[in-house]
Amino acid sequence: METTIEQLRIDRRFGNAVREGRWVVPARIDVTLAAANARLDFTEAQATTGLVDMTVDIGIGSTLTLIVPPGVRVVAEDLVTRLGHYDVRRRSAGATPVSLVIRVSGRLHGGGDLVVR
């Protein structure tokens, strides 16, 4: 996993990647998974901007899980799914103001999944 202040790149095959606890969220995140899993927990993370562009390429047997607290919104309108699945498993934040938007684009294919909780 390579990290700079501007970009985080996760590229895994047959492995796992985890970001949790206190970590700096850059403006751009690129995730490529094949027979691998990644979990990005934004609960204690510190964003450098109010908008994060995330590009994903989630392939066969892979799952990307985004754990987001109230006030973080995930938008996946530009996500192409072919034999993949996008699942939001979280309760509504109600009247909590949005402080961070994560805009996800890219593709889920061959059974790749994106889970937001």
31 has a pLDDT exceeding 70? yes
Q: What is the pLDDT of residues 73-109, one digit of tens each?
A: 999 988 999 888 888 776 666 678 999 999 999 999 9
Please check whether residue 77 is in contact with residue 101, taking contact to mean a CB–CB distance below 8 angstroms: no
The domain locations on the chain are 2-116
Task: Look up the pTM and report it.
Answer: 0.90
Query: Cα angle at 41 between 25 and 102, to 5 degrees?
Result: 55
For the chain, what percent of residues have pLDDT higher than 90? 79
Q: How far apart are CA 62 and CA 89, in angstroms?
A: 17
pLDDT at residue number 4: 45
Q: How far apart are CA 73 and CA 96, in angstroms?
A: 11
Q: How far apart are CA 48 and CA 38, in angstroms?
A: 21
pLDDT at residue number 87: 85
For the chain, what percent of residues have pLDDT higher than 70? 91
Report the pLDDT averaged over residues 30-34: 98
